[in-house]
A and B are shown apart, each in its own frame.
Chain A
Amino acid sequence: MKDVLKGKVWKFGDDISTDLITPGRYFHLRSDLNELAKHTLEDADPDFIKKISGGDFVVGGRNFGLGSSREHAPTVIKISGISAVLAKSFARIFYRNAINVGLPVIICDTDQIDTGDELIVSLTEGKIQNVTKKKEMDFPPLPKIMADILNEGGLVNYIKKNGEYKI
């Protein structure tokens, strides 16, 4: 897992549901994740996938990822090249899924972050540097088991290595 992430911000509002990230009408593409990823966040911003570059950040408000358990949602965000999602709060299943697929999720006050801002995020130090706004923010560390899963790049690798859950 890369520790220092750099990129530009794409800002969204509160309550970005998994239906907005991976619409149900693309249900048939779920076994073709690269195709599905071409529609990432399409119902929140139809041009999202055309605008982003690798390493960019998705920034939300409250309750990011609410709704269905579809792990395809964090997976396509990751496949699209986004390096992390930052939000004021996350829905529970999305949060856990993101870590399981190796997509960093960061809880912080996102009111001060806008589309176009350049960020540098250090995962181990728990620091966000907003280069554009010349501001710094801290974020709390993950619980140990989640940090371990993320460090392995996801839950499959974690289980491959440890064989079981190490609490």
Chain B
Amino acid sequence: MLGHTLAEKILSEKSGQEAKAGTITVVDVDWILMQDGTGPLAVKQIEKLGIVKAARPDHTIIFLDHASPSPRKELSNDHKLLRDFSQKTGCLISEIGKGVSHQIMAEKYINPGEVLVGADSHTCTGGALAVFATGMGSTDIGMAIVSGKTWFRVPESFKIISKGKKLPKGVYAKDIILYLIGLIGADGATYKALEFTGDFFKELPVEDRLTISNMTVEAGAKAGLFPSDRHTRAFLEKYGRKEKYQEIHADKDAIYEKEVQIDIEGLKPVISRPHTVDNTVFIDELKPVTRVDQVFIGTCTNGRIEDLRIVARIFKGKKIDKRVRCLITPASVDVFQKAAEEGLIEIFIRSGATVLPPGCGACVGVHQGILADGEVCLATQNRNFKGRMGNPDSHIYLASPATAAYSALTGKISDVREIL
């Protein structure tokens, strides 16, 4: 019998049958998430069945993170509807100000070998912990909440192999994933699972893996998976659940549809230009000089404490350019608290940045940093689609937290290697 990829392995285990790529299978889901943008519709779809119940309420989490706190009454009513649903069913609720779903799922809930489905496209973030995690729409999620199950077409996998061991100065996990998306395109991995392997990825901490898995959907992927290893164990231990660790990796003779190699040591900081994520360029090829009106640091991609430490190192004792608004949104309240304890928040305030409550912040154009006509934003988020930040007449560039921080100081998109 042929070996299994990581995706096939997890889905075989969860469906109780051989789940080879291409087969359609029904699986028990371990965790379900929905958020305030997609949750209300999921609840309404559940209500159409004439029942209001959850198969596993203590494994179903509702996040109030997109409009947090609510900027208008329609969204307050949506929040109320979700709180009521949580009351009725016992599903858990993660309140406003607690943070972005994907960060909290990693901090508190998911473990290697599990299946997570979420009514949010970046649910694939969980792949960093060897979780088969993928995004779906409200109806799929509503039906998963009621039945505890969903169906999958088992994806073919691409093997993404790192060459080399060490990233050059000024280059981070974010640059790797932006580079990969630029390489294979915004639809380069549609319906596929990406599996990351190689010397470099094996030594990458889970925090950085989260950034990479988070953005695999920007290449169309269904899942972005890392095998579990000592780094996964260390992460679980840090968050108080080391007993949940299990080793899970692909078989040596697994079949991959494609292999893609990334020369880690040859990378430079990457910028993704408007209006598609795959419109990438190395920073030294970015022309002409691009002034920025807003710099946004945070989101499920890059709002972790490690990211904020990098930003604080660059900001320390410096002032943000007078013409730039710099918004910083910790991904979770845990991150926020650590940033406060470590003195990072003070550095941000002294440098002139605006610190916002944990949540999605300006990422999705609901509130907290909507751009004016013609304005340019450099963001650490995962998407730069036209209109993403609330105005179709604005321009969004994507980069790592280091590039974003340095650019906030200079007022233009700048090469952070100049100061390292």
Contact = CB atoms under 8 A, between A and B. Distances in A.
Max chain A C-beta neighbours (<10 A), residue from B67, B75, B118, B143: B143
B119 A31 contact: no
Interface residues of B, number: 57
A156 B49 contact: yes
Interface string B170-208: 000000000000000011001100000000000000000
20 contacts: A15-B187, A17-B386, A20-B386, A23-B392, A24-B387, A24-B388, A28-B75, A30-B41, A31-B40, A63-B190, A67-B121, A67-B385, A71-B139, A75-B41, A92-B190, A97-B140, A100-B140, A155-B139, A159-B146, A165-B147
Max chain A C-beta neighbours (<10 A), residue from B139, B147, B383: B139
B390 interface: yes
A63 B387 contact: no
Interface in B105-156: 118-121, 123, 135-140, 142-143, 146-147, 149-151, 153
Considering the complex of A and B, which 10 residue pairs feature the smallest CB-CB distances, nearest first?
A: A24-B365, A71-B137, A97-B137, A63-B187, A28-B74, A19-B385, A69-B121, A100-B139, A17-B385, A69-B135
B261 to A, nearest CB: 24
B89 interface: no
Contacts of A96: 136-137, 140
Contacts of A159: 49, 143, 146-147
A48 B285 CA distance: 37
A24 B390 contact: yes
Interface in A116-167: 143-145, 154-156, 159-160, 164-165, 167
B220 A72 contact: no
Nearest to B143: A159
Contact of B137 (A15, A28, A69): A69
B321 to A, nearest CB: 27
Given A70-B137, A92-B222, A97-B137, 5 more contacts: A19-B388, A28-B67, A68-B120, A93-B135, A159-B146
A155 B143 contact: yes
Given A96-B140, A100-B137, A143-B24, A69 B191 contact: no
Given A72-B41, A160-B49, A27 B121 contact: no
